Amino acid sequence: MYPRDVVIHSGQHLNFTIIGDRMDAHGPGQWLSTNEKVMHVNQITGEAHARGEGIAEVIFKGPNLKLRTTVNVLKVNQIVVDAPAEILTNVAAPPDGYKFSVKLSDSAGHSTESSVNQINAPFDCKVEPSFVGFVEPWSDRAVKKSYCVFHPYSPAQLLPVKSNPKDGILHISVRANLKEDSMVTGSAHALFVKGFYIKEPGMLNLTPSCNHSVIIIGGNTDVELFWSAKDLMSVSLVDTNENIGGPSQIVYRVEALKRQPFADKVTIILPATGQTEELEVNYVTGDRTESSSSSGLTTFGLILTCIIVPAGTLWVIMKLLEKPARQAPPRHAPAPAAGPATAPDPASPAIGEFSPRTPQPFMEYVRKTVDDTPYYKRDARRRFNPQNTY
């Protein structure tokens, strides 16, 4: 039977079971206690509850088996609570909460850490001030230890009711009370640092028509703000809300100082815990968009010009090269016979076989003009003698 020769404190719960080679051979049976005022045992499951100070035997009776163990129940006269070593905060708190260890002891110096596994913790837990969070009792059966586990509320849920909301650092107290005797109690104090939160976090977009905005910070307002573009943007404290009974918050005004586009970040740091949050700030004038569009069109026009002009020039050169050269008359052609000078016929092949033909009406006009010209058909000597032309 397990456990054997148990020493426990009043109010504790534990579970008896059969172990070893006899576990499969004991068959159906029942659990009994020789003193129900000291130790109560469930006849079927073996779960036991220490009700009062004294000694009792727990017996298991089966068809072919009978086992017994002695239980010494001591009265708890002291509860010792130990706080965690780290600073408590409600930002990035442990998922399982902060563990305050709880030890029960009696006048003989027996502690629950040397006792058996407990089913339920024999004590209740409370936290003061109560608005910071909640606590619950818990027994770790693997290591045979008991705790009051503290779960803090988030910064947005934390409502200052009993303390000055300007105080970002609090001293909290976690107390354990014995269920069987509420007069047996113990407590521990711990330092609790509240965190902050940004109301409506995201991005601040500023424009020339609306060149300012606000950052609202709630919770622990003892924060520091940093940003890079100090010549382009200002961040200044403009308002605080310190009403008792409502969430504390401060308001910072963010304003663009120049009509110049920029992108920056406001970094908010809580020195007490190192909590850090960032908020992006963008200022857009609208000029950058037009400039970019105009620049894009100019670049496209230059590219188009660089393509079309060389292509057109190349096309003209190729067309000129395709046109055949005019045929020159052969060098051995005989000289023309002497006689009256006549105008060459433009349509004659002598001009060039591939020359374009002159329109016929124009040719007739030229012939008529030549025939009507005085002395044009006389001999060359008279024609070129100024004395014989009139």
Are 159 and 106 spatial neighbours (Cβ–Cβ below 8 Å)? no
φ, ψ for residue 226, nearest 5 deg: -135, 145
Are 76 and 181 spatial neighbours (Cβ–Cβ below 8 Å)? yes
Q: In terms of DSSP bridges, do strands 88-89 and 54-61 run parallel, antiparallel, or are they unpaired?
A: unpaired
Cα 166 to Cα 158: distance, rounded to the nearest angstrom: 13
3-state secondary structure of 102: strand
Question: What secondary structure letter does DSSP report for 231?
Answer: T
Cα 60 to Cα 17: distance, rounded to the nearest angstrom: 9
Q: What is the 3-state secondary structure (H, E, C) of 47-77?
A: EEEECCCEEEEEEEECCCCEEEEEEEEECCC
Length of the chain, please? 390
Q: In terms of DSSP bridges, do strands 6-9 and 66-74 run parallel, antiparallel, or are they unpaired?
A: parallel
From 246, 220, 61, select the one nearest 154 (Cα to Cα). Answer: 220
Q: Per-domain residue ranges for the chain?
A: 6-74, 78-194, 197-283
Structure tokens at 15: 């579970």
CATH number of 197-283: 2.60.40.3450
Query: Hey, CA dihedral for 360, 363, 369, 372, is it positive or negative?
Result: negative
Q: With 0-12 CB in 10 A as exposed, 13-18 as middle and 19+ as buried, what is 13? A: middle
Kindly report whether the global pTM for this prediction surpasses the value 0.85.
Answer: no
Structure tokens at 103: 């030890």
Residue 61: CB atoms within 10 Å = 14
CATH number of 78-194: 2.60.40
Q: Do domains 78-194 and 197-283 have the same CATH topology?
A: yes
Cα 80 to Cα 184: distance, rounded to the nearest angstrom: 10
Burial track 209-220 (b if 16+ CB lie within 10 A, e otherwise): eebeeebebbbb
Q: With 0-12 CB in 10 A as exposed, 13-18 as middle and 19+ as buried, what is 6? A: buried
For domain 6-74, give the fold: Immunoglobulin-like (2.60.40)
- pLDDT, one tens digit for every residue, the chain (390 residues): 556 667 777 777 788 887 765 555 556 788 888 888 888 888 888 888 888 888 888 888 887 788 888 888 877 778 899 999 988 999 888 989 999 999 887 765 556 554 455 567 788 999 999 989 999 999 887 877 889 999 999 888 876 544 454 567 889 999 999 887 788 889 999 999 989 999 887 899 999 999 999 999 988 888 999 999 999 999 999 876 554 444 578 899 999 999 999 999 999 999 988 899 999 999 998 764 444 445 555 666 667 777 777 777 766 666 666 655 444 455 444 544 444 444 555 544 544 444 566 677 777 777 777 677 765 554 544 445 555 544
